[in-house]
């Protein structure tokens, strides 16, 4: 962290705040790599940001309510939402959130909307406002496999990505960088599976932490 200026030893730069969220387990899983990751990042200071982690329910609208409450509490300077994308081999930074809820499985309270809008008064889509290309480049430079994704799906992940961007846009806070990052399964999730399901790509928590550290270093 940078020191003071103007010869005043009491003058110090204030740490920025990064709100990073991880979903609870869902779909019959007992763990969620997103939640395990953000627990490891909580309290760290990276690139001038204090990392503040929050656990988010996998429930339509309640997920957005939880992020809204956390944002009201800490007034973040950036927001990164993290979710599990089983089957993806690398860390994928999402480009866009779309205004549709079309859940392939029920959420953790049994909601399963089909072709319903996230926000009835909202636009078709929002671009993520994180520096997605720079984040991916940083992770690759750190030796962590990463890419840009053009689809966050239509489940609670996309619901929350779109919802947060809509919330910021309508609150006059679109200047706050925000977006969503999907991560692979953890190795321990595959250890309890059988057959082809046990062969899905995985990434360990240590590698995820390394990747996200590099990612956060891409923030201004």
Tell me, yes or no, whether 3 lies in a domain: no
The whole domain housing 129 covers 16-216
Is the CB of residue 159 less than 8 Å from the CB of residue 62? Answer: no
- Is residue 182 part of the annotated active site? The answer reads yes
Helix-then-strand count for the chain, H and E = 6, 9
pLDDT of residue 16: 98
- Is residue 94 part of the annotated active site? The answer reads yes
**55 token code pair:** 């656990």
Catalytic residue among 182, 188, 206, 217: 182
CATH of the domain at 177: 3.40.630.20
pLDDT of residue 34: 98
Tell me, yes or no, whether 8 lies in a domain: no
Residue 173 has pLDDT above 90, yes or no: yes
Residue 155 has pLDDT above 90, yes or no: yes
Tell me, yes or no, whether 71 lies in a domain: yes
Count how many domains the chain has.
1
Tell me, yes or no, whether 7 lies in a domain: no
First to last CA, the chain: 14
Tens of pLDDT along 55-87?
Answer: 999 999 999 999 999 999 999 999 999 999 999
Tell me, yes or no, whether 10 lies in a domain: no
Within 13 Å of residue 171, how many CA atoms lie on the same side as its CB? 13
Catalytic residue among 36, 157, 159, 166: 157
Is the CB of residue 177 less than 8 Å from the CB of residue 131? Answer: yes
Tell me, yes or no, whether 58 lies in a domain: yes
**36 token code pair:** 């395990």
pLDDT of residue 55: 98
Catalytic residue among 50, 94, 159, 166: 94
Q: pLDDT band for 12, please (50, 70, 90 cuts).
A: low
Query: What is the average pLDDT across 163-188?
Result: 97
For residues 195 and 44, give the distance between their C-alpha atoms in angstroms, rounded to a whole number.
38
Tell me, yes or no, whether 4 lies in a domain: no
Query: What is the average pLDDT across 108-125?
Result: 98
State whether the Cα torsion 43-11-48-163 is positive or negative. Answer: positive
pLDDT of residue 11: 42
Place of tokens 């979710």: 83
pLDDT of residue 197: 75
Is the CB of residue 89 less than 8 Å from the CB of residue 188? Answer: no
- Is residue 166 part of the annotated active site? The answer reads no
* Residues in contact with 136: Cβ distance below 8 Å, sequence separation at least 6, in sequence order: 93, 146, 147, 148
Tell me, yes or no, whether 177 lies in a domain: yes
């Amino acid at each position: 962290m940078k020191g003071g200026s103007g010869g005043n030893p009491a003058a110090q730069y204030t740490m920025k705040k990064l709100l990073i969220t991880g979903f609870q387990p869902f779909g019959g899983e007992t763990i969620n790599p997103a939640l395990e990751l953000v627990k490891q990042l909580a309290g760290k200071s990276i690139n001038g940001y204090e990392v503040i982690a929050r656990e988010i329910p996998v429930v339509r609208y309640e997920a957005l309510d939880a992020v809204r409450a956390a944002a009201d509490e800490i007034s973040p300077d950036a927001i990164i939402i993290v979710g599990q994308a089983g089957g993806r081999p690398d860390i994928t930074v999402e480009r866009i959130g779309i205004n549709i809820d079309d859940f392939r499985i029920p959420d953790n309270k049994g909601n399963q909307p089909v072709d319903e809008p996230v926000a009835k008064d909202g636009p078709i889509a929002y671009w993520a406002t994180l520096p997605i290309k720079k984040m991916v480049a940083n992770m690759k430079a750190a030796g962590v496999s990463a890419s840009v994704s053009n689809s966050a799906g239509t489940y609670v992940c996309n619901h929350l990505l779109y919802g947060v961007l809509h919330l910021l846009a309508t609150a006059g806070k679109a200047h706050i960088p925000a977006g969503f990052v999907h991560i692979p399964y953890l190795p321990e999730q595959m250890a309890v599976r059988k057959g082809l399901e046990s062969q899905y790509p995985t990434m360990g928590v240590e590698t995820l932490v390394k990747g996200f550290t590099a990612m956060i270093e891409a923030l201004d």
